[in-house]
Structure 1
């Protein structure tokens, strides 16, 4: 049986989010500086070989760290939510979105950025995006915002935050669909798709957004 990850990866937070009659379990870890090399080595040992190889390919230390913590947080979420301590065998859809081969009824999604790592688990298709707050500029906004979304910036007090909120809505929405960013982002107005859960942390400089299948699309 796999070791309880909560004894290794600490300083994480959990939330039960109620969205459109569904419950989403959200796990977040932002205390990256508290994760020592020894803790990383212990988490690395519980990773399957293909995930270990992926972590090894990262040349940047922070990217390797985020890769390892992402998997550990997923395992922790499975242990804490479903009391499942087995090894996890993954399969991919045609767009390379991972699913659990032995637990097809469990849906999950993982995201990370420089601020931290997040993982969501639910009994319905779900997507999550955590993003460092993006610096606003007109060309970037025009590249992925719809005409309706661009109008929002006219009265926005904090354009950086507004841009990041829109981006994470779109990212989590397409991650929920499991298709990747397959249509022109400017053709989709995020706040017309449905309801999202958003968490804004200005102290740690990130926005986190969750989307679930019950969103209209």
Structure 2
């Protein structure tokens, strides 16, 4: 089982009082750390809707869900170890991944202009930096974010986050299929990674610990109001 949901935070801004009521005291304290109201609202929307989505799989009240956290701060369900989840957000979009396998997900705005070559040289594996140097400038952003999101999805899946090092997993890119491939032999035996564009602006990558192949075309469900 593997499901991906996408929501637009703009559609939930009027529901903050209700969404806030679903959060634990600890979660609300985390939300209140944001100095800007819009960032606090987005955090509230992300956390509360995670509860709502998970409640559909667990068949319990979303407010009754109890999260535990690993040493790096990744939440998990101690009482439901069979259900794995992850979320990622950028701009006004949030993606959620739900699975019965360990998994991670990442979304990025591929139109964000950064120093691609400089970042690739600093954080990517040498073979990936060479790949970045061989790509046409017009495709540079897509390749960079394809590799970046795939790496971050994997690091989030194993509970490390970016502190685990983007060069801890080596990737290549299949230009014919426009898909990322795992080069690291040991990781390739146990993990699957796929990426897809939501539109011309956003790209999503998922990493799942499974020997079963993921479908070539990932299905992303739009999550609307409850």
Matched, 1:207 2:210: no
Matched, 1:145 2:141: no
* CA 1:96–1:198: 2 relative to 1, 3 Å: same
Q: Is the 8 A contact 1:115 1:131 kept in 2?
A: no
Matched, 1:179 2:176: no
TM-score normalised over the length of structure 2: 0.75
After the TM superposition, which residues 132-171 of structure 1 pair with which residues of structure 2 at under 5 Å, given as runs?
Answer: 132-133=109-110, 134-137=112-115, 138-153=117-132, 154-156=134-136, 157-171=138-152
User: Runs of 5+ in structure 2 lacking a partner?
Assistant: 172-180, 212-226
TM-score normalised over the length of structure 1: 0.78
How many equivalent pairs are there?
191
Deviation at 1:164, TM superposition (A): 1.0
Tell me, in whole angstroms, the C-alpha distance in 2 between the residues paired with 1:69 and 1:100.
19
Tell me, in whole angstroms, the C-alpha distance in 2 between the residues paired with 1:26 and 1:187.
25
* SS of alignment partner, residue 205 of structure 2: strand
After the TM superposition, which residues 1-217 of structure 1 pair with which residues of structure 2 at under 5 Å, given as runs?
Answer: 23-30=1-8, 32-36=9-13, 38-85=14-61, 87-133=64-110, 134-137=112-115, 138-153=117-132, 154-156=134-136, 157-190=138-171, 191-192=181-182, 193-194=187-188, 195-203=192-200, 205-214=201-210
Deviation at 1:151, TM superposition (A): 2.5
Deviation at 1:39, TM superposition (A): 0.8
* CA 1:84–1:25: 2 relative to 1, 3 Å: farther
Task: Name the Cα RMSD after superposition.
Answer: 2.2
* SS of alignment partner, residue 203 of structure 2: strand
